[in-house]
Amino acid sequence: MAEASANSGVALSVVIPCYDEENRLPATLERVREFLSARGGDWELLIVDDGSRDQTLTVAREFAREEPRVRVLCYGSNRGKGYAVRHGALASRGNLVLFTDADLSTPIEELDAFIRAMDAGADGVIGSRSLPDSRIEIHQPWWRELAGRLMNLLIRCVSGLSFCDTQCGFKLFSGPIARQLFAMMTVERWMFDVELLFLAKRLGYRVVDRPVVWRNSGDSRVRFRHLPNVFRELMHIRTYWLFRKPDRPTAGVPRPLDTPPV
């Protein structure tokens, strides 16, 4: 489908990274479209296929043919969730950019509360499952919740971030700031959220967390065998940026995507 001009902006971009989501994706896309259409304003939905092995890309393209505000991006291989979100964020045109998981574990209806927090002066708002007012309607198994708490403790120790939940897949940022941060990022898989928040902190942006409704989907892609890679990514973030100072670019134009959208 034809791409809009790079200079044409919209109020809101929603980025959904997808990997083997052919079964859940149709319901998710319809729910997101219904919600965004009902609330009004101009918006775009970017579906980013991360090298799916099933019919995710076909499902996404069929949906996009019926909805001109939808763009489908792909790059042919599995690069990781962080790369997929980065790819979508850099292609976005929104004044605000939301990225959310394809399973909608955090309901899209939480968006309005996040926008109110942005209107109050935040540069970014991240969902948290660990704040007192968060509502967990479907819990993970107890051992996953314990592992998650231990992981968050490790993240805080290594990164210096104070957030009690960096990994909730529902985050809203100012569009220019999101594109600036993602243009600098180096982590492509599990800990990309940590690098995003780490860079935002180093650059002095105001990011706040707020409670969300959350429902475990039962299909987490993180396994215990991934823990060494998770730890390696955390250490990379700490060491890579130790002697590098991220600068706010004066031109305001992030580096281009290394692969074109489809």
d(CA 179, CA 98): 12
The pLDDT assigned to 38 comes to: 97
Tokens 């390696």, located at residue: 232
Digit-coded pLDDT (tens) for 36-48: 999 999 999 999 9
The pLDDT assigned to 219 comes to: 61
Average pLDDT over residues 63-68: 96
Digit-coded pLDDT (tens) for 126-170: 999 989 999 987 776 766 676 777 777 888 888 889 999 999 999
The pLDDT assigned to 58 comes to: 97
At residue 6, what is the residue type?
A
Digit-coded pLDDT (tens) for 76-96: 899 999 999 999 999 999 999
Digit-coded pLDDT (tens) for 92-134: 999 999 999 999 999 999 999 999 999 999 999 999 998 999 9
Among 128, 126, 137, 212, CA closest to 165: 128
Q: Which CATH superfamily is domain 10-240 in?
A: Spore Coat Polysaccharide Biosynthesis Protein SpsA; Chain A (3.90.550.10)
2 has a pLDDT exceeding 70: no
Tokens 């990164």, located at residue: 159
Question: How many angstroms separate the Cα of 176 from the Cα of each of 16, 152, 164, 182, 242?
Answer: 18, 28, 26, 10, 25
The pLDDT assigned to 177 comes to: 97
The pLDDT assigned to 231 comes to: 86
Residues with Cβ < 8 Å from 185, sequence gap 6 or more? 82, 86, 192, 195, 196, 199
The pLDDT assigned to 218 comes to: 61
Average pLDDT over residues 227-241: 88
Digit-coded pLDDT (tens) for 178-194: 999 999 999 999 899 99
The pLDDT assigned to 223 comes to: 54
Q: Please, what is the Cα angle at 87 between 102 and 252, to 5 degrees?
A: 130
Kindly report the average pLDDT of the chain as a whole number: 87
Average pLDDT over residues 34-62: 97
Digit-coded pLDDT (tens) for 243-259: 787 865 533 434 434 43
The pLDDT assigned to 97 comes to: 98
The pLDDT assigned to 137 comes to: 75
Percentage of the residues of the chain whose pLDDT score is greater than 90: 69
